[in-house]
Structure 1
């Protein structure tokens, strides 16, 4: 047992040792975004500004707050500013209203009340995770960023729509664009119906004439209605509205990624190369079918952007109806 008379001396000695260690410890290394990461993200944001105006045909709005993440730091750029501020994240990324995601190849847009933001892992993080693409990693990430920033122009209608659907059917906060696939993905008959419908839309987009494209769009619309009538009934009735909103959101995002990659103002890639790069493996159904749907809409509905981003927008099904009837 320690002699109580020695405790004050021991405590004082320990305190002095701690003070000495603190004084000699190196200060935390400041955050500094790698030059290649900085070049990419500033360039990609410029691509968004060009695409917003020339491809989506929208008046520009201030960018949301942006969080860019590398292996050590989170860099924040507040809405309406061009300056980045970096803070070490210690492996736990703190974002508004969201569970801390792991450091990795993440990208998502979010809106909580008046707070809008976009978060993305920087190319150094995606590369370290082994992500590759047939069109090159930075081009892939350009498309990912454009896709997610499209959502920031859809929040004004998507969030109230999803809130109303959730309230009507008692859904939780975990509903997302992959939920329908998770519900029906193991049903062989549903899978067959989905793939036939998706392939019909891609065929319409690539048809040799507008008349043939319109005919195939009409066939795809019939397939979509039949799929809804067969599977989205009873306790699954909620999926009809969810299918429409997620095809709208994901389809517009995928279309912009493709349009930028093929645009004379963008990457000027051959269409087949860009399509393969954007689709990747086609495993995410709402993104893949949404892309096919909006490629068809873009071909057959001039000025569709004005309808899709209106205060009361036309959703995917309504736009496909326009494409089919001319």
Structure 2
């Protein structure tokens, strides 16, 4: 999930040590290089190379591990990062909080998110694998290691979107007051989750996208997609009016951002050289509880797009002036 309003889910106490002079991977970062390898795989096979490496903040129960200096007392070490590069890292005690580049002092619980600083440069924050294990996180479909890798891929994909859609969201936030609910990728869900008529309509719309994604006939897939898109536009026109009109643009943006994040994890999970799961199991693993609307519907839409064999769609989604998943599906299916 793209975290703009940070929700801390779990607080745990774990033990960890790190040699001040070690040039090897610190014990607290065990498993992290596999995350970067998975990301390089997704970029190499699907997204294309990253134009820049975001600042990365990782942490366990007592220490942070950052690719940017945090305090004068930082100790340095070298460790693999994304892009196959060995990076200089910094570490020190976090005492339960971390000052991140956008100026916020974040209490450290179980979380993963991407954001951008005031200059638009992306950064990334996530608990290390051991933190997730101690928190008792599980996935019967994927197992913990591959689930957490998929979570990393989802969130790290957002670092590629900060200059495009992320910047658009920031500009919208500066022009519109968002108080109840506050602006987040869940704003549509938070606004309408208690409306049973809206919720039922949204579920039928989302189910139609999944039917399209799994249909074996290409023309039938396109027809189902056009039907689902018509339902989406009717939903937006009916409910996103008055002071909620801005939700039309935000809905398309967050379906695109969260859908791409979900697709990033799915792509690695289902590839024989990645997670090695069957396509169906990987989809189920990414959907999990199916209770986060932008992720649930966004994934279905990207599954459709990818199975339509649209050429170079990652470049269009990840551009500085990107197209939304709604626009891409309209073009790919020739919907009226």
Query: Normalising to structure 1: TM-score of the pair?
Result: 0.85
Which residue pairs with 2:95 in the alignment? 90
Which residue pairs with 1:208 in the alignment? 216
Instruction: Give the one of 96, 114, 132 matched to 1:109.
Output: 114
Secondary structure of the residue aligned to 1:87 is: strand
State the 1:67 CA deviation. 1.0
C-alpha contact 1:66 1:117 (8 A) present in aligned 2: yes
| Cα-to-partner distance string for 1:201-248 (whole Å, 9 max, x where unaligned) | 011000021111101001101100110111011121111011011111
- Distance, in Å, in 2 between the alignment partners of 1:210 and 1:224 is 21
- Distance, in Å, in 1 between the alignment partners of 2:221 and 2:230 is 14
Which residue pairs with 1:31 in the alignment? 18
Which residue pairs with 2:319 in the alignment? 310
1:1-326 paired onto structure 2 within 5 Å = 31=18, 37-56=28-47, 58-78=48-68, 82-97=87-102, 99-114=104-119, 115-134=121-140, 135-171=142-178, 174-300=182-308, 301-325=310-334
- Distance, in Å, in 2 between the alignment partners of 1:60 and 1:159 is 16
- Distance, in Å, in 2 between the alignment partners of 1:212 and 1:280 is 27
Compare relative contact order (CA 8 Å, sep 6+) and give the higher one, 1 or 2: 2
- Distance, in Å, in 2 between the alignment partners of 1:311 and 1:101 is 28
State the 1:152 CA deviation. 1.0
| Cα-to-partner distance string for 1:76-135 (whole Å, 9 max, x where unaligned) | 124975233221111223322254333332101110133421111011111111111121
Return closer, same or farther for 1:81/1:176 CA change in 2, 3 Å cut-off. farther
State the 1:147 CA deviation. 1.0
C-alpha contact 1:31 1:87 (8 A) present in aligned 2: no
- Distance, in Å, in 2 between the alignment partners of 1:311 and 1:102 is 31
Query: Where does structure 1 lack aligned partners over 5 or more consecutive residues?
Result: 1-28
State the 1:65 CA deviation. 1.4
C-alpha contact 2:186 2:292 (8 A) present in aligned 1: yes
State the 1:137 CA deviation. 1.1
C-alpha contact 1:297 1:323 (8 A) present in aligned 2: yes
State the 1:168 CA deviation. 4.1
Secondary structure of the residue aligned to 1:302 is: coil
| Cα-to-partner distance string for 1:253-275 (whole Å, 9 max, x where unaligned) | 10111011011331120112111
Q: How many residues in Structure 1 have an aligned counterpart in Structure 2?
A: 297
Return closer, same or farther for 1:195/1:99 CA change in 2, 3 Å cut-off. same
Of structures 1 and 2, the larger Rg is shown by 1
- Distance, in Å, in 2 between the alignment partners of 1:116 and 1:62 is 9
Instruction: Give the root-mean-square deviation of aligned CA atoms.
Output: 2.2
State the 1:49 CA deviation. 1.4
C-alpha contact 2:155 2:261 (8 A) present in aligned 1: yes
- Distance, in Å, in 1 between the alignment partners of 2:157 and 2:60 is 23
Which residue pairs with 2:71 in the alignment? none
State the 1:73 CA deviation. 0.6
Query: Where does structure 2 lack aligned partners over 5 or more consecutive residues?
Result: 1-15, 69-80
